[in-house]
């Protein structure tokens, strides 16, 4: 009897949340204030990280920048200071747990407070198919895109849980929800990032820590140069072009400010995510071929090979 009562309540809750989220898609939900929050952004020297720093600063948050590239990171800090923002830049290798923990203790000591919003944004890609990819490049992708999430969360989540206040944001990718050819390292790391984030979200809910929010951001290819040369079918690209970085960050910020658990950018990318789950494998394959998605990374890989032949460094 108890089982059937619980089943009935579960089904009612499912219907309620479907209706509530459908309504939220039409009516703008309440936006929370982040003024005075301490926001840490990893990969802050790059395109999306720099824009996130500016957007959070505009809204009155105090910003902490973590990046392995000190020069790029300081440039971001200068831009935020130019806006009148409160910013602190640190040179951190997020792939090394000891470096993460040491700098977490350092910022607590220097700022006298703890991080309340964590934006795990750092990301890399090798740009080689798996048989041609050196082991160190594969390991680097997994360390930056996946392992670093564990270290930053372990560094800052305990205080969020103690205060029952905070927000953990994972900047993943649509390639963490469905895959494509020749970027095995990237897809594996982003699938892992999605799994990590969702498991963490379930853990917080199981512990009834409703004050600690989570948001998983899965953007399509963003025009930051990371996937320079990637090309799908021309006719399809007219309706699904690479995302402008500013648009991507604005959509992600919208989701963060309304405590939205998951956002795919653009909305059209929810469709292949659903198709992957619902359709036979072969149906997805022919769809990929029609769109040109099955070989979309070939020009990207060719461009990376040319970079290497001209003396470039994929580890840079």
- Global pTM reads 0.90
- pLDDT confidence of residue 310: 63
158 versus 238: which is more confidently predicted? 158
Query: Rounded distance, CA 137 to CA 148, Å?
Result: 15
- pLDDT confidence of residue 25: 62
- The catalytic residue positions are 186
302 versus 71: which is more confidently predicted? 71
- pLDDT confidence of residue 315: 43
- pLDDT confidence of residue 15: 76
Per residue in 53-68, pLDDT (tens digit) is: 999 999 999 999 999 9
- pLDDT confidence of residue 238: 87
CATH of 32-309, one of 2.50.20.20, 3.40.50.720, 1.10.150.130, 3.30.750.24: 3.40.50.720
Cis-peptide, bond into residue 129, ω within 30° of zero: no
Pick the closest to residue 264 from 147, 196, 172 (CA basis).
172
pLDDT band at 279 (very low <50, low <70, confident <90, very high): confident
Phi, psi of 197 (to 5 degrees): -60, -45
Query: Rounded distance, CA 261 to CA 291, Å?
Result: 29
Q: Where are the beta strands (DSSP E) in 34-116?
A: 38-42, 62-67, 87-91
Mean pLDDT of the chain: 90
pLDDT band at 309 (very low <50, low <70, confident <90, very high): low
Q: What is the largest CA-CA distance in the chain?
A: 71
- pLDDT confidence of residue 2: 74
Pick the closest to residue 21 from 260, 210, 211 (CA basis).
260
Structure tokens at 264: 């795919």
The answer to whether residue 156 scores a pLDDT higher than 60 is yes
The answer to whether residue 88 scores a pLDDT higher than 70 is yes
What is residue 72's DSSP assignment? H
To 5 degrees, how large is the angle CA 273–CA 202–CA 248?
Answer: 45
Mean pLDDT of 194-214: 97
65 versus 275: which is more confidently predicted? 65
- pLDDT confidence of residue 295: 84
Do the beta carbons of residue 54 and residue 28 sit within 8 Å? Answer: no
The answer to whether residue 316 scores a pLDDT higher than 50 is no
Structure tokens at 279: 């359709």
Per residue in 115-135, pLDDT (tens digit) is: 999 999 999 999 888 998 999
């Amino acid at each position: 009897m108890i089982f059937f009562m619980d089943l009935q309540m579960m089904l009612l809750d499912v219907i309620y949340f479907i209706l509530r989220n459908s309504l939220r898609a039409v009516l703008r939900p309440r936006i929370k204030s982040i003024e005075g929050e301490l926001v840490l952004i990893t990969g802050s020297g790059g395109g999306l990280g720099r824009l996130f720093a500016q957007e959070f600063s505009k809204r009155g948050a105090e910003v902490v920048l973590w990046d392995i590239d000190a020069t790029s990171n300081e440039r971001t800090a200068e831009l935020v200071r130019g806006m009148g923002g409160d910013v602190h830049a640190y040179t951190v290798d997020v792939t090394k747990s000891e470096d993460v923990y040491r700098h977490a203790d350092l910022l607590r000591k220097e700022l006298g407070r703890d991080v309340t919003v964590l934006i795990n944004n750092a990301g890399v890609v090798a740009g080689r198919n798996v048989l041609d990819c050196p082991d160190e490049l594969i390991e680097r992708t997994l360390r930056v895109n996946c392992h670093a999430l564990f270290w930053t969360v372990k560094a800052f989540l305990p205080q969020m849980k103690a205060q029952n206040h905070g927000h953990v944001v994972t900047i993943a990718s649509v390639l963490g929800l469905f895959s494509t050819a020749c970027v095995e390292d990237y897809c594996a790391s982003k699938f892992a990032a999605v799994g990590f984030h969702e498991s963490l979200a379930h853990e917080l809910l199981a512990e009834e820590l409703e004050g600690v929010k989570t948001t998983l951001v899965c953007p399509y290819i963003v025009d930051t140069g990371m996937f320079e040369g990637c090309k799908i079918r021309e006719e399809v690209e007219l309706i699904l072009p690479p995302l402008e970085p500013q648009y991507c960050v604005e959509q992600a910020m919208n989701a963060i400010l309304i405590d939205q658990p998951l956002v795919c950018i653009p909305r059209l990318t929810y469709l292949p995510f659903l198709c992957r789950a619902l359709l036979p494998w072969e149906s997805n394959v022919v769809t990929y071929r029609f769109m040109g998605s099955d070989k979309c990374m070939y020009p990207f890989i060719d461009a990376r090979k040319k970079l290497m032949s001209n003396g470039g460094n994929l580890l840079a």
